[in-house]
Amino acid sequence: MTRITYSLEFMQISLTGIHNEPRLPATAAEMPISAVEGINVAVIGGGLMGHAIAGLHAAAGAQVTVLESDAESRRSMHGRIHASFTPLGSADRAVANTSVTSDSGRALSGSHIVIEAAVEKIAVKNDLVRLASRFAPESIFATNTSAIRISDIAESHANPELVVGTHYFNPPHLIPLVEVVPGQRTSPNTVQKIAAYLRLIDKIPAVLSSDPPGFVANRIQHAMWREALALLEAGVADAETIDLIVRNSFGPRLTVMGPIENADYVGLDLTESIHSYLFPHLSSTTSPSAEVLNAVARGKLGRKTGQGITTWTEQRAQQATERLASHLITTFSSRKG
């Protein structure tokens, strides 16, 4: 059975006609920066984020190899890429420029950039840094970690100056911004190079100066989630009502006015009054909410298991994916750079 799966997989790879031969070693120094064509990218982990990150680089013209340890994920990779890129009209190109393999050497050797999008566990990321350090020691190692400090991930690399955070947002092919996060030992050259490359593939790199856990976006985002879950736990409103309020009050405003401009816009005197009164009442818990801890302990993980804080049918999951994609495509369709 295993042998059949493998042979089908290789048939699929050879049908797409992409770099079945091992590639020559590549280095970040040799990476072309004027055109995407000619750039080889390896993506480690082809799950929710990795398949779409692979597809967006491939759709832009890079040759992408996904290193995926799970056989079912490898088998479904091209189908998932195709489905994600169909609304953008670039599904065929995204699939054609992507190969999938479980062979580390084949995936990593010859890649100018290695993008790590495996699970959010530091031990796994450190193993993968060591793997990349072995097969692609002179290439940029760009981790898609959501929150782990880049400095902690870079420790295991032979050349930590080449390790950088490139934090994409789900769905990464529809959200243009990528946080570019330097660790303590990341070189300015690596940061400039990856930012230039991201612009080339039509992403908006937002370059940070340091790597606090959670960087910028997830610190702000999860401060809000902590408060939303605290309100739910306190019984102030039910889940639907809390989400309804966020989506229809300050939520829509955030795409045109960020919190700091907004504070200035309404007046810092008002901001000071609200913060002086309100901050002592906001959640400052340092552990996940009981609601989340209990659900996870009972295997209720949300959409992927059909039950989380709310109930998920297949139909609801499909509609949520389509609603999100359609909204993001409309929001960013008129974007110029």
The amino acid at residue 322 is: E
Nearest to 103 by CA among 164, 159, 23: 23
Backbone angles phi, psi at 285, to 5 degrees: -60, 145
Q: Residue 121 or residue 275: which is nearer to ligand NAD going by CB?
A: 121
The full DSSP string for 142-208 is EE--SSS-HHHHHTTSS-GGGEEEEE--SSTTT--EEEEEE-TT--HHHHHHHHHHHHHTT-EEEE-
Least Å distance, CB 151 to ligand NAD, is: 16
Q: Residue 220 or residue 274: which is nearer to ligand NAD going by CB?
A: 220
Q: Residue 85 or residue 169: which is nearer to ligand NAD going by CB?
A: 169
Least Å distance, CB 240 to ligand NAD, is: 22
The amino acid at residue 48 is: L
Structure tokens belonging to residue 239: 């889940």
Least Å distance, CB 128 to ligand NAD, is: 6
Report yes or no: 43 and 115 within 8 Å, Cβ to Cβ: yes
Cα separation of 220 and 94, whole Å?
32
Least Å distance, CB 121 to ligand NAD, is: 8
Least Å distance, CB 336 to ligand NAD, is: 25
Report yes or no: 208 and 215 within 8 Å, Cβ to Cβ: yes
Q: Would you tell me which residues interact with ligand NAD (CB under 6 A)?
A: 44-50, 67-70, 73, 117-120, 124, 128, 144-146, 168-170
- Give the containing element (helix H, strand E) for 232: helix 217-233
Omega prior to 25 cis, within 30 of 0: no
Residues whose CB falls within 8 Å of the CB of residue 85, separated by 6 or more in sequence, listed in order: 55, 59, 91, 93, 94, 95, 173
Least Å distance, CB 143 to ligand NAD, is: 7
DSSP 140: E
Q: Residue 263 or residue 303: which is nearer to ligand NAD going by CB?
A: 303
Least Å distance, CB 268 to ligand NAD, is: 32
Beta bridge partners of residue 206, listed in sequence order: 179
Report yes or no: 164 and 141 within 8 Å, Cβ to Cβ: yes
Q: Residue 26 or residue 43: which is nearer to ligand NAD going by CB?
A: 43
Least Å distance, CB 70 to ligand NAD, is: 4
Helix axes 71-85, 48-59, angle to 10 degrees: 50
Q: Residue 188 or residue 201: which is nearer to ligand NAD going by CB?
A: 201
Q: Residue 262 or residue 321: which is nearer to ligand NAD going by CB?
A: 321
The amino acid at residue 98 is: T
Q: Residue 197 or residue 215: which is nearer to ligand NAD going by CB?
A: 215
